[in-house]
């Protein structure tokens, strides 16, 4: 069977459409969805509608998909703070049947193909806590490489393999899990590795890749009786056109700080959110603002200062 593994679409319907077209051209026979379908960009319904139209699929939910369950119980009159404006906008935008669809998705599935167990989770650490997602994140990549160098992906893969094959906790964890294929996502970095009789596949991010390459990521997995093949694919699409659509959306109007930073990540292919959050925390402490999540005032002022410090142009 030939599977197209797609994850971390994050409301980017244009990237998802491009990936689906490519997967069709590659003769994908089934689809594996590894979580995080909605928040970030303004097309949650379009993405979920397209997913539900696909017949032959295996699907789980990611950590960002569960944030809506938390939203549901909140007092909506307080939904004015800066930090979560994007999440609230997405919650309101999503049709109720799409909320229902997400809510009941499992967090972990196992199925078999040719007798081989295929595990699907959103995070690698869900397979075993000893394998830390943080150790193989885009944040680590940037910290190790200083910034957006051309060979960032190469360096990143080196870092991942270093951790994967040499870190004692990770090695112990890999050794202790059963043989099979492990599919996950979460870090928005596409990679795969084999160890003993285990194959690990991070499908990367379709809608918001953070490994220094901006094309939409997905991975093809072929499982046949005698052999197995993993093929990583990157699909180009019109990012400028998508960005101008995002800037004209209700999401941008309601949550321009968060959305601007996501646009920066999208167009550069690198992590910025984590660094901005750290900057905002430092700023809030400096002005002795104890409010968390951050107020609109603190959030927007931190953004203005962060842009200045990082020479980000409007
Ligand atoms: Fe994600």
Q: What's the pLDDT tens digit per position in 40-65?
A: 999 999 999 999 999 999 999 999 99
Please, which residues have CB within 8 angstroms of residue 104's CB and are 6 or more apart in sequence? none
* One domain, residues 153 and 294: no
d(CA 152, CA 76): 42
Query: In the numeric block, which tokens belong to residue 22?
Result: 């490519």
Q: Give 11 Cα–ligand 1 centroid separation in angstroms.
A: 10
What is the distance in A from the centroid of ligand 1 to the CA of 143? Answer: 20
Instruction: Tell me the mean pLDDT in the region 4-25.
Output: 98
In sign, the C-alpha dihedral spanning 237, 63, 97, 118 is positive
- 220-249 confidence digits (pLDDT tens): 999 998 889 999 999 999 999 999 999 999
Instruction: Please check whether residue 243 lies inside any domain of the structure.
Output: no
Residues 57 and 161 in one domain: yes
* Average pLDDT, integer, range 198-218: 94
C-alpha span between 176 and 130 (Å, rounded): 10
- The rounded Å distance from CA 109 to ligand 1 centre is 18
Ligand 1: distance of its center to the CA of 63 in Å? 8
Q: Do 231 and 276 fall into the same domain? A: no
Domain match, 159 and 292 both: no
Return the higher-pLDDT residue of 88 and 59: 59
Note whether residue 43 is domain-resident: yes
Q: Are residues 119 and 265 in the same domain?
A: no
Ligand 1 center to 288 CA (angstroms): 31
Let me know if residue 40 belongs to a domain.
Answer: yes
Distance of CA 184 from the midpoint of ligand 1 (Å): 11
Give 227 Cα–ligand 1 centroid separation in angstroms. 31
- pLDDT tens per residue across span 112-153: 999 999 999 999 888 887 787 766 666 665 555 545 556 778
Q: How far is CA 308 from the centre of its chain?
A: 27
* pLDDT tens profile 173-195: 888 999 999 999 998 999 999 98
CATH of the domain at 187: 3.60.21.10
The string of pLDDT tens digits covering residues 236-294 is: 999 999 999 999 999 999 999 999 999 999 998 888 888 899 999 999 999 999 999 89
114 CA distance to ligand 1 centroid (A)? 30
Among 189, 212, 235, residue at a domain's last position: 235
Domain that holds residue 201: 2-235
In a domain, 242, yes or no: no
Q: Are residues 54 and 82 located together in one domain of the fold?
A: yes
Average pLDDT score over residue span 19-30: 98
| Domain tally, the chain | 2
Residue 301's pLDDT is 97
């Amino acid at each position: 069977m030939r599977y197209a593994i797609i994850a971390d679409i994050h409301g980017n319907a244009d990237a998802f459409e491009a990936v689906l077209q490519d997967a069709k051209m590659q003769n994908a026979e089934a689809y594996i969805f590894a979580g995080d379908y909605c928040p970030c960009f303004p097309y949650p319904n379009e993405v979920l509608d397209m997913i539900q139209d696909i017949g032959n699929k295996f699907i789980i939910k990611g950590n960002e998909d569960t944030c809506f369950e938390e939203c549901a119980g909140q007092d909506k009159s307080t939904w004015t703070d800066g930090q979560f404006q994007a999440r609230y906008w997405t919650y309101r935008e999503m049709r109720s049947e799409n909320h229902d669809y997400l809510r009941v998705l499992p967090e972990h599935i196992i199925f078999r193909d040719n007798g081989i167990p295929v595990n699907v989770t959103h995070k690698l650490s869900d397979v075993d806590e000893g394998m830390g997602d943080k150790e193989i994140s885009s944040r680590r990549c940037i910290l190790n490489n200083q910034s957006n160098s051309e060979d960032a992906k190469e360096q990143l893969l080196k870092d991942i393999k270093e951790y994967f094959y040499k870190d004692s906790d990770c090695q112990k964890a890999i050794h202790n899990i059963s043989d099979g294929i492990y599919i996950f996502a979460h870090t928005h970095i596409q990679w795969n590795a084999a160890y003993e009789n285990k194959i690990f596949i991070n499908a990367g991010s379709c809608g918001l890749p953070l490994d220094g390459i901006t094309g939409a990521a997905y991975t093809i997995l072929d499982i046949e009786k005698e052999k197995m093949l993993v093929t990583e694919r990157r699909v180009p699409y019109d990012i400028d056109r998508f960005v101008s659509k995002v800037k004209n959306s209700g999401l941008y109007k309601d949550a321009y700080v968060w959305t601007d930073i996501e646009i920066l990540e999208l167009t550069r292919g690198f992590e910025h959110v984590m660094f901005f959050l750290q900057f905002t925390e430092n700023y809030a402490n400096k002005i002795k603002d104890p409010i968390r999540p951050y107020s609109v005032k603190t959030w927007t002022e931190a953004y203005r200062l962060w842009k200045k410090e990082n020479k980000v142009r409007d």
